[in-house]
Structure 1
Amino acid sequence: MTTSIEPELVRRAAVGDPTAVSALLTDVRPGLVRYCRARLGRVGGAYTTADDIAQEVCLAVLKALPRYREQGKPFSAFVFAVAAHKVADAQRAAVRDSAVTMTDTPLERPDAAPGPEQQAVATDLARRLSVLLQRLPDVQREIITLRVAVGLTAEEVGTILGMSAAAVRVAQSRALARLRTLAGSGLDEVAA
């Protein structure tokens, strides 16, 4: 998703134009999925939960769209604000519902997914990276997520966060330097 969503497209979608709504969701959804995956990570080797949250964000945006009013910020700032709230809700729910449910249904065909060892390594790496990211200030964490995971430009992130592109680049540089310091020689120093 880019911050250059046409205001006219948003206006048409807000009044219920089905073509505009479809085009708007087509533009918004890929960035939302990347954002949610970056913030929530994988569970059991899959991004199912993050993808579900991205879908919830799309539904929340659609529900709020008729009441959306231009307030001097791009539409993407509104979308990512909704996403940040949904991600926070999902994280709180995950802490509350940390019970593990096992399914022992046999597979009918060979599983092409990574094996247990690869899943464990990937999950451990994701957990370690998540721990590192949590040690950054909120703004730096958002900048890294939006720039690296979602792929937005410094200008787009600046518009969303109300910063200049130069300030975003400086904050990103500081965040990456802090991550390098925290990581030390690899990710071995991150507490398990």
Structure 2
Amino acid sequence: MATSESRRAAAELEQLIGPAAAGDRAAVSEILRIVYPLVRRYCAARMSGAGHLHVTADDVSQEICMATVQAIPRYRDQGKSFLAFVYGISANKVADAFRRAQVHPAYPVAEFPDAPNTEAGPEERALQSETRRATRDLMQVLAPNHREVLVMRIVLGWTAAETAEAIGTSPGVVRVMQHRALNKLRAELRAAS
């Protein structure tokens, strides 16, 4: 997301949160229109390759939107933007999905396709799956907040300022966290070679 787009979304949300908290249904609908694509993209990035989940990124995005709507009347400005508040809800809902998957893993059954598959062949899919699994395993050596920063900065392509706003810190701290996380990943890769 471009910085100007992020700022515009955050500014629009700040304008809408007051009326939405007062019960304006149109303001709530507008908040959801702005928030859904942002949280959907966030969920897709965080849940990519996690085939053992019972839920999809769309499912979790819906949960986030419902939780956001329920939280609007209780929202109080505490120095963070409403968008940062929504990303906090998002991080918790994604973590909940992963926790549920650990307790009750899913074993999806392949369905018979309606049309011929024009996607990658079995070998390509196996390599992609192996790469995703290796990346996910490698990311597990990082602290959760460092993983979060790498997902936002590298996978989602956010700026340090956007990431800082979402996690409630400064852009400088985000850059330091990213640097440390990447150094730790490099060290792990060297040790594995």
Q: Aligning the two structures, in what range does the TM-score lie when normalised by the shorter sequence?
A: 0.7 to 0.9
- TM-score of the aligned structures, taking structure 1 as reference length: 0.82
Partner of 2:21: 14
Q: Are 2:87 and 2:167, in contact at CA under 8 Å, matched by a contact in 1?
A: no
Query: Corresponding residue for 2:42?
Result: 35
Q: Deviations over 1:76-103 (max 9, x none)?
A: 2211111111111111111122241424
* Identical aligned residues as a percent: 41
Cα pair 1:15 1:66 within 8 Å, conserved: yes
Unaligned runs of 5+ in 1: none
Distance 1:73 1:99 in 2: 37
User: TM-score under structure 2 normalisation?
Assistant: 0.81
Residue 169 in structure 1 maps to residue 188 in structure 2: no
Equivalent residue number for residue 139 of structure 1: 145
In 1, distance between residues paired with 2:106 and 2:145? Answer: 31
* 2:136 aligned partner: 130
Is the helix fraction higher in 1 or 2? 2
Secondary structure (helix, strand or coil) at the match of 1:184 reads helix
Q: Structure 1 residues 180, 31: closer, same or farther in 2, change over 3 A?
A: farther
- 1:146 and 1:84 map into 2 onto residues whose CA distance is 11
In structure 1, C-alpha distance between the alignment counterparts of 2:159 and 2:90, rounded to whole Å: 18
Q: Deviation string for 1:86-142 (max 9, x for gaps)?
A: 1111111111222414244x3232233333322222221111111111111222111
Is residue 133 of structure 2 the alignment partner of residue 153 of structure 1?
no
The answer to whether residue 72 in structure 2 is matched with residue 79 in structure 1 is no
In the alignment, is the contact (CA less than 8 A) between 2:49 and 2:133 conserved in 1? Answer: no
Distance apart, 1:147 and its partner CA: 1.7
Superimposed CA distance per residue, residues 17-52 of structure 1 (whole angstroms, 9 cap, x where no aligned partner): 3433233223222221222222222355xxx61221
Q: Distance in 1 between matches of 2:120 and 2:11?
A: 37
- Which whole-Å CA distance do the structure 2 matches of 1:13 and 1:150 have between them? 28
2:74 pairs with 1:67: yes
RMSD: 2.8
1:5–1:76 contact (8 Å) kept in structure 2 = no
Measure how far apart 1:73 and its partner are: 0.8
Distance 1:5 1:128, change over 3 A: farther
> Aligned pairs, how many?
186
Q: Which residue of 2 aligns with 1:110?
A: 116
Query: Which segment is superposed worse, 59-68 or 154-163?
Result: 154-163
For the residues of structure 1 that align with 2:139 and 2:165, how far apart are their CA atoms? 22
| Contact 2:60-2:93 at 8 Å conserved across structures | yes
Structure 2, unmatched stretches of 5+, are none
